[in-house]
């Protein structure tokens, strides 16, 4: 059969079949539809080759709906209307037809389960609760089903009522107290805020943002640090601390900044009294913690802190407590600029003398401490000098004792004056005092050091010329350990002027300046 000669109902069935099986072979589709007498369900079964059980099930569905299908086919809509329902049935798509045709048993099982859910679990249904079960349906339920249904309602109704009442109360509280919503938002913001941020970095970010949007000239001198650092600086320097708590979500934030913070009188007041200005964003953890510590309930806010002292009468007299940083003024929300300046100026003028007194006392205490430190330092330096002087004196005394012991030992070891003709050198020495001494030294047995030792003994007045001035102890032992005696003079020959070295290894006979005879003069090194 040519598809041109088809009736409108057959053409519609062909279109539905081709769309479901997703095929463009019209001749094959016409052959299958003609063999099934233009029954769409039977044609689909023939196409998909389902199991015999599925075929039997679908035949039952087809027979039960054949009369309805014929009625629909007799009233097939026009081509324009048919385009509205691609599957050919209002409210039924091609995918639904395919699903019902392929597995009707599973579809019926799903429908029966849905009916059970609708009947026994009313709170899962989107339909009105009163329409879930009619009285006639409830009466037909089994006793066990009735018990289950009643238990569900006993559990469901209180929960539903509690939820509805709680929701209504929360909405009322949020409307009446906006602070609850802001606190919840701030808490959520703190949870999402990354941890480990540096307070200095947070302060710099706020200052940069503030100067970019409000104060491009940077006239406000913000403290670049955290809240705890600002408290420490205010205590240390005895300064007023003004904390500004900013909330970008508040409607009055922009107007508060422009009308108050950027006011010329306000900036002049801060500059005249050297007020430390710190700011915190309540959406950040630093600002939120400062807000809680300062007990702020409305934003934006200004809080003035200052050191205060308190007096107390005691049996021993009036005592003054140590200065403590306290809140002296809170300005919460947008109020007239003149009122803000007046309140701040009143507290500043009231507490300024206290801060001046505290600073003066601290300066005096610091000055006293520095004076004591300088005195202690001078005492320690003087003590160190005295100790060094005493140590040097002891060392010098020990050195002199060792020198004297060495000279006494050399005196005891000094050989007699040589008188063997041709074996001695006659040495004459002029002392610094002008005296002239003379001695004959063995050319081969005595060295140049012996000449220096002889002159040193005369200078130290242990001998006069060659005669000892005190008894010589022959049992004097040599100095413990090695000692290098430092002579404080040089011996020079007169003509020509040549220095005679002090050498313990050179015999006198080998030195031209003193052999066979020598005329020397003493040149002192240390005057």
Measured between alpha carbons, how far is 525 from 503 in angstroms, rounded to an integer?
18
**Tokens standing for 270?**
């801060």
The confidence score (pLDDT) of residue 93 equals 39
Is residue 524 within 8 A of residue 488, CB to CB? The reply is yes
Domain annotation covers residue 486: yes
Give the C-alpha distances (Å, rounded to integers) separating 167 from 158, 164, 174, 344, 422. 14, 5, 11, 43, 137
Residue 101 has pLDDT above 70, yes or no: no
Domain annotation covers residue 145: yes
Same domain, 23 and 54: yes
pLDDT band at 10 (very low <50, low <70, confident <90, very high): confident
Is residue 243 within 8 A of residue 294, CB to CB? The reply is yes
Domain annotation covers residue 397: no
Domain annotation covers residue 467: yes
**Tokens standing for 185?**
């938002």
CATH number for position 466? 3.10.20.90
Measured between alpha carbons, how far is 204 from 210 in angstroms, rounded to an integer?
10
Position with higher pLDDT, 135 vs 271: 271
Residue 228 has pLDDT above 60, yes or no: yes
Measured between alpha carbons, how far is 486 from 393 in angstroms, rounded to an integer?
18
Domain annotation covers residue 284: yes
The confidence score (pLDDT) of residue 128 equals 41
Neighbouring residues of 1: CB distance < 8 A, sequence distance ≥ 6: 30, 34
Exposure b/e, 406-440, CB count within 10 A at least 16 = b: bbbbbbeebeeebeeeeebbebebeeeeeeebebb
Measured between alpha carbons, how far is 219 from 266 in angstroms, rounded to an integer?
11
- The structure tokens 């030195």 sit at 511
Residue 98 has pLDDT above 60, yes or no: no
Domain annotation covers residue 152: yes
The confidence score (pLDDT) of residue 197 equals 66
The confidence score (pLDDT) of residue 423 equals 87
Give, rounded to a whole angstrom, the gap between the first and last alpha carbons of the chain: 149
Q: Which domain holds residue 15?
A: 3-102
The DSSP string of 313-348 is EETTEEEEPPPEEEEEEEEES---HHHHHHHHHHHH
Residue 420 has pLDDT above 90, yes or no: no
The confidence score (pLDDT) of residue 307 equals 93
pLDDT band at 95 (very low <50, low <70, confident <90, very high): very low
Residue 384 has pLDDT above 90, yes or no: yes
Quote the number of domains for the chain. Answer: 4
Instruction: Using a pLDDT cut of 70, give the percent of the chain over it.
Output: 75
Measured between alpha carbons, how far is 349 from 275 in angstroms, rounded to an integer?
12
Same domain, 215 and 354: yes
Residue 343 has pLDDT above 90, yes or no: yes
Tell me if residue 498 falls in helix, strand or coil: coil
The residue-averaged pLDDT of 173-183 equals 71
Measured between alpha carbons, how far is 246 from 288 in angstroms, rounded to an integer?
10
The residue-averaged pLDDT of 88-110 equals 41
The confidence score (pLDDT) of residue 80 equals 37
Domain annotation covers residue 375: no
CA 105 to chain centre: 66
The confidence score (pLDDT) of residue 179 equals 66
pLDDT band at 1 (very low <50, low <70, confident <90, very high): low
Q: What confidence tens digit (pLDDT) does each residue in 255-264 have?
A: 999 999 999 9
Same domain, 91 and 231: no
Provide the 8-state DSSP code for 417.
P
**Tokens standing for 379?**
């005492």
Same domain, 205 and 354: yes
Same domain, 362 and 232: yes
The residue-averaged pLDDT of 400-412 equals 83
Is residue 305 within 8 A of residue 240, CB to CB? The reply is yes
Tell me if residue 387 falls in helix, strand or coil: helix
- What Rg do the C-alpha atoms of the chain give, in angstroms? 60
pLDDT band at 480 (very low <50, low <70, confident <90, very high): low
Same domain, 83 and 220: no
The confidence score (pLDDT) of residue 482 equals 57
Measured between alpha carbons, how far is 15 from 29 in angstroms, rounded to an integer?
10
Same domain, 133 and 96: no
Is residue 522 within 8 A of residue 502, CB to CB? The reply is no
CATH number for position 242? 3.40.30.10
Same domain, 362 and 501: no
Measured between alpha carbons, how far is 3 from 360 in angstroms, rounded to an integer?
112
Residue 251 has pLDDT above 80, yes or no: yes
> Minimum mean pLDDT among 45-49, 135-139, 280-284, 382-386: which range?
135-139
Same domain, 89 and 18: yes
pLDDT band at 246 (very low <50, low <70, confident <90, very high): very high
Tell me if residue 131 falls in helix, strand or coil: helix
* 406: region left, alpha or beta (phi > 0 left; psi from -120 to 50 alpha): alpha
Residue 302 has pLDDT above 80, yes or no: yes
Residue 365 has pLDDT above 70, yes or no: yes
Domain annotation covers residue 394: no
The helix (H) or strand (E) run that includes residue 331 is: strand 324-332
Is residue 23 within 8 A of residue 15, CB to CB? The reply is no
> Minimum mean pLDDT among 27-31, 146-150, 188-192: which range?
188-192
Same domain, 210 and 359: yes
The confidence score (pLDDT) of residue 5 equals 72
The residue-averaged pLDDT of 249-275 equals 92
**Which of 58, 74, 102 is at the close of a domain?**
102
Same domain, 214 and 353: yes
């Amino acid at each position: 059969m040519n598809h041109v000669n088809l009736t409108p109902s057959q053409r519609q069935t062909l279109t539905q079949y081709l769309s479901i099986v997703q095929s463009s072979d019209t001749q094959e589709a016409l052959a299958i539809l003609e063999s099934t007498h233009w029954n769409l369900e039977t044609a689909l079964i023939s196409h998909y080759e389902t199991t015999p059980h599925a075929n039997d099930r679908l035949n039952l569905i087809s027979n039960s709906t054949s009369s309805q299908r014929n009625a629909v086919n007799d009233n097939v809509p026009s081509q324009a209307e048919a385009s509205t329902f691609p599957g050919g049935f209002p409210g039924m798509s091609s995918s639904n037809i395919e699903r019902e045709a392929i597995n009707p048993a599973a579809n019926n099982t799903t429908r029966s389960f849905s009916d059970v859910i609708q009947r026994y679990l009313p709170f899962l249904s989107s339909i009105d609760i009163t329409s879930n079960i009619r009285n006639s349906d409830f009466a037909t339920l089994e006793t066990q089903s009735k018990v289950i249904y009643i238990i569900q309602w006993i559990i469901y109704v209180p929960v539903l009522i509690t939820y509805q009442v709680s929701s209504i109360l929360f909405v009322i509280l949020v409307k009446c107290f906006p602070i609850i919503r802001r606190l919840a938002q701030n808490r959520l913001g703190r949870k999402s805020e990354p941890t480990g941020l540096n307070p200095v970095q947070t302060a710099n970010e706020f200052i940069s943002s503030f100067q970019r949007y409000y104060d491009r000239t940077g006239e406000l001198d913000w403290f670049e640090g955290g809240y705890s650092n600002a408290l420490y600086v205010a205590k240390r320097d005895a300064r007023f601390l003004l904390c500004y708590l900013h909330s970008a979500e508040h409607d009055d934030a922009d107007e508060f900044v422009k009308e108050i913070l950027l006011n010329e009188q306000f900036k002049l007041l801060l500059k005249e009294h050297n007020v430390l200005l710190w700011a915190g964003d309540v959406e950040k953890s630093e600002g939120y913690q400062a807000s809680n510590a300062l007990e702020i309930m409305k934003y934006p806010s200004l809080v003035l802190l200052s050191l205060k002292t308190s007096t107390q009468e005691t049996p021993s007299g009036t005592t003054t407590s140590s200065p403590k940083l306290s809140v002296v003024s809170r300005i919460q929300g947008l109020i007239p600029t003149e009122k803000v300046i007046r309140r701040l100026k009143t507290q500043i003028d009231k507490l300024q003398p206290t801060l001046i007194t505290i600073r003066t006392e601290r300066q005096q205490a610091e000055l006293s401490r520095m004076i004591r430190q300088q005195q202690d330092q001078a005492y320690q330096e003087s003590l160190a000098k005295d100790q060094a002087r005493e140590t040097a004196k002891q060392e010098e005394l020990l050195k002199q004792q060792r020198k004297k012991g060495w000279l006494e030992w050399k005196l005891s070891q000094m050989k007699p004056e040589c008188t063997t003709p041709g074996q001695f050198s006659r040495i004459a020495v002029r002392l610094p005092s002008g005296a002239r001494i003379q001695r004959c030294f063995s050319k081969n047995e005595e060295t140049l050091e012996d000449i220096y030792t002889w002159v040193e003994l005369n200078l130290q007045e242990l001998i006069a010329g060659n005669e000892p001035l005190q008894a010589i102890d022959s049992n004097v032992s040599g100095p413990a350990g090695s000692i290098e005696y430092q002579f404080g003079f040089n011996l020079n020959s007169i003509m020509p002027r040549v220095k005679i070295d002090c050498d313990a290894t050179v015999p006198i006979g080998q030195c031209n300046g003193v052999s066979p005879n020598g005329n020397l003069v003493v040149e002192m090194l240390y005057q």
